[in-house]
A and B are shown apart, each in its own frame.
Chain A
């Protein structure tokens, strides 16, 4: 099927095409295969992929006006192709970033040198709702506060930029693996001939990472994945990962703390747990320390972690480092802690707490994205060009009442990638969420969950806002492949 009518926008980087409409060199192989396939073949492939997701219930839950609803993320069958060199840059940049973020967390929960040295304002850190004074002087194994990070990377004509770091309970990695599985099943010959780097080792890598963080370096630790339960939007992923890493999938009610040690209730009696990969937010994890009304958590869990009897991954309190204001300082953190220049750029960010940034934001709202610092998932934000004057006026009132609660960023021209829409190829905006794992060392699997804004022209890729997904093919390094062959 040809690409007739595929509208290229010169302001937008297209993942498959150059501005003159010729396929990019690295994407040519996939391009050639696509134009050889008929529209019927492609539509059949798409249907098959989505049916697999439905029959296996690879789903997430959306909370709306009615009750929670199980939804399938729509999958686009056309892979997004990245070169090994592109990937190397993204991967090095993210590893560097996560190292700096771990140093930052260690610092702000102990001496606070970065604050004393005037790099970042104290009230921005200690006044952040995600800063947990209860975690002061906490020392997680190996200094790893963030064992699992999922950063959102976007590409524009200026290259790759990090849009945000998710350091609390990032999700989406199961879609990386499920999308790969369906890509292999639906385009087997193309996959094989494209020489794509594998992602299926993610489970093993996660297991290694978590095991490296066992208290006191204990070998063969008992690992459990703590989920809020079947009604959580990411429950499918929790189940999937528990299975991949051979961990028990526990809920708060399965755990109990006795004498500072965490146990789970098994059919053979209570069994000690060493490492908890927790997918429950800080607020709910321990009613004795955080929200007392939480039924999802385990009383005494924080105490057990502070005694060093159990490892919580990620550590509580990491949210302070992915706050949307603190985000603006991550490049400074890289310079401050590592003495290096950041490999990956940040998106330009205006902190409305600064009077001049507030003024700029109010004056230019029609061209900016304004976000609440504490929100995620595409909630609580306004996209200037897609809003009405009335909406902007309303939003401005809220913004003026609490400037420190907001940031703004220019509207990014997220790169586009061909998607199969109603039997035709059309460009849709995409982003990239790779997962960075830190145990004794930092590792990253060559792949990502690629989110797609399925509505024409939309730049909102969040699954809860109607986004879809597609597979990301990181190609093997042609030089290395040649060397290996000779």
Chain B
């Protein structure tokens, strides 16, 4: 398939995954606003911003700030992460970019997938934070997550599972792995950078909830939250839908299906790196105790994987000799 189309499909996967990730974090925040202490709410905001590598306007939220400003601050931050056109990580921007890439490749995706993306984008365009805030923010994020789940399901059930489909899935898995490791590191860093550095069990519980892993954790480990065990579950459990291990394994298997690109050394580099990543997570993780350093390395490797895929399949130099000459 055309490299440019493969690249657009890959980006559709990435942007929609990113939108879903932010939405799930925002859903959690909107729940916390109802009954959680200000410290925990602000911890949540800082964790989100750290994980996407930016700062909120006005800097990090003060964990022990005033109760009375907590709601106003949260409104501003939620708006920034949801509707702000100028914030490339906002849910709206992700939808907008995902749809833009889909516009370039409408003939490669099914009409159902297009309509799902297009109508949800048009819906978002009509909404604003004030209206969401007045009604039910949690329901809004829930609905948006649902749309993204529907999108995933539609790619599965209405698209031909050819190379283009594999690139779309690859985009999702690479994004998922990167977002996941980013969130874990951000969680640890945000905790360490706070003044008290006290252990707050609630923060780890909320982390488990982002991954739909709280019940699983309780089932396996009982209700006592031990950070090391949480990390083990979120990183290396191959049965947890969004664990790092599962994302990396899925990305690796898509790369296997896609096969060799036109430049042998580039595609070999892609395969070597996915091999290295999956060996780190699947084999080395249980036996090593430098887990935070490992996560930092994994984060770097995920970024590198993106560049290697781009060079191997999408943006290889066109001065290559034509086939058979």
Contact = CB atoms under 8 A, between A and B. Distances in A.
Interface of A: 54-57, 230, 235, 239-240, 242-243, 248-251, 253-254, 256, 258-259, 261, 263-272
B217 interface: no
B115 A56 contact: yes
A265 B3 contact: yes
B114 interface: yes
Contacts of A57: 103, 114, 118
A258 B261 contact: no
Contacts of B222: none
Contact of B119 (A55, A250, A267): A55
Given A258-B322, A259-B322, A267 B118 contact: no
Nearest to B4: A254
A272 B261 CA distance: 17
A239 B106 CA distance: 6
Residue picked from A267, A269, A270, A271, most chain B C-beta under 10 Å: A267
Interface string B285-325: 00000000000000000000000000001101010111101
B107 A270 contact: no
Given A56-B111, A243-B107, A272 B322 contact: yes
B103 A54 contact: no
Contact of A270 (B4, B115, B313, B320): B320
Given A242-B107, A243-B106, A265 B322 contact: no
Given A55-B122, A254-B4, A259-B325, A265 B318 contact: yes
Given A248-B2, A270-B320, A55 B261 contact: no
Count chain B CB atoms within 10 A of each CB in A54, A242, A268 and give the residue with the most.
A268
Contacts of B258: 267
Contact of B163 (A239, A259, A267, A270): A267
B115 A256 contact: no
Contact of B1 (A235, A253, A259, A267): A267
Interface residues of B, number: 31
A266 B107 contact: no
B4 A251 contact: yes
Given A56-B118, A243-B106, A243-B107, A270 B2 contact: no
Contacts of A253: 4
By secondary structure, the B interface counts as: helix
A323 B119 CA distance: 41
Contacts of A251: 4
A58 to B, nearest CB: 10
28 contacts: A56-B118, A57-B103, A230-B103, A235-B103, A239-B106, A248-B2, A254-B2, A254-B4, A258-B321, A258-B325, A259-B325, A263-B322, A265-B4, A266-B1, A266-B262, A267-B1, A267-B3, A267-B6, A267-B167, A267-B313, A268-B261, A268-B262, A269-B261, A269-B262, A269-B320, A270-B262, A270-B320, A270-B322
Contacts of A267: 1-3, 6, 163, 167, 258, 261-262, 313-314
A66 B87 CA distance: 23
Given A259-B322, A270-B262, 4 more contacts: A55-B118, A56-B118, A57-B103, A254-B4
B104 interface: yes
B114 A249 contact: no
A265 B3 CA distance: 6
